[in-house]
Amino acid sequence: MIFDRRALLAALAVTPAWTPGARAEEPVKPMQGWAFDFGDGPTAPGHVRVARDSLYGPAVGYGFEPVAGVSPFLFSVAAPDGDYRVTLELGGGPASDTTVKTESRRLMLERVVTRPGRTTTVDCVVNVRSPVLTAPPPNAPGGVRVLLNPREEGSYDWDDKLTLEFCGPVPALRRLRIEPVVVPTVFLAGDSTVTDQRSEPGASWGQMLPRFFKPQVSVANHAESGETLKAFLVERRLDKLLSRIKPGDWLLIQFGHNDQKVQWPQTYVEAATTYRDYLKVYIGEARRRGATPVLVTSPHRRRFDAAGKIINTHGDYPAAVRAVARDTGAPLIDLLDMSAAFYEALGPDQAWKAFADGGKDATHHNNYGAYQLARCVVEGVRSAVPDLARHLADDLPPFDLARPPAPDSFVMAPSAARSQETPRGN
C-alpha cells in the first residue's frame, strides 16, 4: 500500500492526533540517514514505519504537517543546515501522478506518473537552512541571526526541518530516504521575482529552477521579496549565504526592482555609482571563497507601448549590470531581454496570464510565468555558464522565446498554501 491523504484524514477522525511527548513513533536521530515506510505491508528493512496519524512534533522529529483538504500533503523531518539527497519511491497502488515540491514550494520533480501496482524511484537534492549564524568573535561586528521580516517567520524556508510537499491529482508516496550530501550548490540572491513565493497563486523563477537540474547540484534560494543589494547585506542575508558557499559553487545575483526606488532612501543605490559598487562587492565575496558569481538582469515589468513592445521601467540599471559584467568578467544572463521577447511573443492580450493576481500585478508572476522565466534562465546558463550547464536535466529541449507554450495549456499541480497578499516590493 501507499500513503494516501484520504486515509490519513479518516484516521485522524477517529484517532487522537500525535502530541509532543507521546511515544507513538520512534524518534529520529539527526545527522544520520533517515528512511521511512508509509505502506501497510511489512516495514522495509532499515526503515521507520510512519503512522497515518503521525503529525510533526519536535520530540519525534518527523511527521505530517497539518493541512486542510485531501491533497496536497506535506511531510517534514528535523534537519540542520545543509544539503540532502531525497530518494522517493512513488506509486505502488492505483495509478498515480505526483509532483514534488520542497520547503516553500520549490519545484523538484514534475508529474511523476506510475501505472497501477508499479512504483518509480526518483531523487532530488534539497537545501535546508535556518536563520542562525555562527556568533562572531568577542568585540567583532556581526550578529547571530538573519533579520527576517514578519512574513518570513514560520516559513518552511527558514525553519529547522526539511519539508516535502506531494501535489498532483493523485499523489502517492510509498517510501522515503533522506541522506546528508555535499554537492555543488547554486545560490540565488535577489528580490520578489526570484524568491520562493510561499503561497499560491504567486511564484518566482528561482523556486522553479531546481526542477531543471539533475540531482547532482543543490539550489539554495536566499532571495526575498522587497530586497535590495543594500538591505540583503544589512539584514545579514549575504552573511548567511557566504557562510555556506564553498569552492565550486555558483552565485546568481539579480537585484534592481527595488534598488532603483528613490522613495526608499535607506536602500536606494544609484545606477551609475553605488549600484555597480555593491554588485562588485557581491562578486568579490563569492570569488574570494572560490565560487563563480553570475549576474542576472531583472525581468521587465509588464508594460507595453502602443506598438506592442515592452517599455523599460528599469532605467539605467540593466545597462549597469552589463557594464559590471564586462568590467569584472562575470558571466551575464540577460533576463531583461529574454523576458521582453517572452512577453512580446504572448502579446498584450495574453501576457497578463503570466502574472499574479489574475494579471492585475504587472511585476510578480504566477506558476506559468515563473516557469517560463526559469526556462529563460536555463537558456542563459547554457550560453554563459558552461560549467553549470553540464548539470542541467537531460529532458530539456531548447526554449523558443518566439513561441512560448500557451498559458492556457500549462498545468502545474497547486500547493496547499494560498494567499492574496501582495509580495513586498514592486
- Residue range(s) in the chain whose domain bears CATH number 2.60.120.430: 1-182
Contact 33, 178 (CB under 8 A): yes
- Give the ranges where 191-273 is alpha helix by DSSP (H): 205-208, 229-234, 237-244
Q: Residues 304, 311: contact at Cβ < 8 Å?
A: yes
Q: 509532483: which residue's cell?
A: 99
The predicted structure's pLDDT at residue 119: 95
Give me the phi and psi of 226, to 5 degrees please: 80, 0
Alpha-carbon distances of 235 from 130, 169, 215, 267, rounded to whole Å: 14, 40, 31, 12
Buried b (16+ CB within 10 A) or exposed e, 68-79: eeebbbbbbbbb
CA–CA gap between residue 228 and residue 426 (Å, rounded): 12
Residue 40 is predicted with a pLDDT of: 81
Q: How far apart are CA 204 and CA 356, in angstroms?
A: 10
Question: How far is Cα 197 from Cα 39, in angstroms, rounded to an integer?
Answer: 32
Q: What is the pLDDT of residue 19?
A: 25
Residue type, 272: A
pLDDT of 70: 60
Check: CB of residue 380 under 8 Å from CB of residue 368: no
Tens digit of pLDDT for each residue in 126-179? 999 999 999 999 999 999 999 999 999 889 999 999 999 999 999 999 999 999
Sheet of strand 48-49, all strands in order from the earlier edge strand to the far edge: 48-49, 34-37, 173-181, 82-91, 119-128
Instruction: Judge whether 245 and 288 are in contact, CB under 8 Å.
Output: no
Query: Which long-range contacts (C-beta less than 8 Å, at least 24 apart) are formed by 237-241?
Result: 237/146, 237/189, 238/189, 238/282, 238/285, 239/133, 239/142, 239/143, 239/146, 240/129, 240/131, 240/133, 240/146, 241/187, 241/189
Residues in the chain: 426
Q: Within 123-234, where are the H helices?
A: 205-208, 229-234
Cell output for 148: 527576517
Question: Rounded to whole angstroms, how far apart are CA atoms 82 and 70?
Answer: 31
What is this structure's pTM? 0.92
Domain(s) labelled CATH 3.40.50.1110 in the chain stretch across 184-417+420-424
Contact 173, 207 (CB under 8 A): no
- pLDDT recorded at residue 295: 98
Please list the pLDDT of the chain residue by residue as tens digits (426 residues): 344 444 433 332 322 222 222 233 455 554 478 999 998 889 999 999 998 889 999 999 999 999 866 679 999 999 999 999 999 999 999 999 999 999 999 999 999 999 999 999 999 999 999 999 999 999 999 999 999 999 998 899 999 999 999 999 999 999 999 999 999 999 999 999 999 999 999 999 999 999 999 999 999 999 999 999 999 999 999 999 999 999 999 999 999 999 999 998 899 999 999 999 999 999 999 999 999 999 999 999 999 999 999 999 999 999 999 999 999 999 999 999 999 999 999 999 999 999 999 999 999 999 999 999 999 999 999 999 999 999 999 988 889 999 999 999 999 999 999 988 888 776
The residue to which cell 499523489 is assigned? 171
Nearest of 69, 122, 78, 80 to residue 100 by alpha carbon: 122
CATH number of 1-182: 2.60.120.430
Query: Check: CATH 3.40.50.300 for 184-417+420-424?
Result: no
Q: How far apart are CA 216 and CA 351, in angstroms?
A: 34
3-class SS at 367? helix
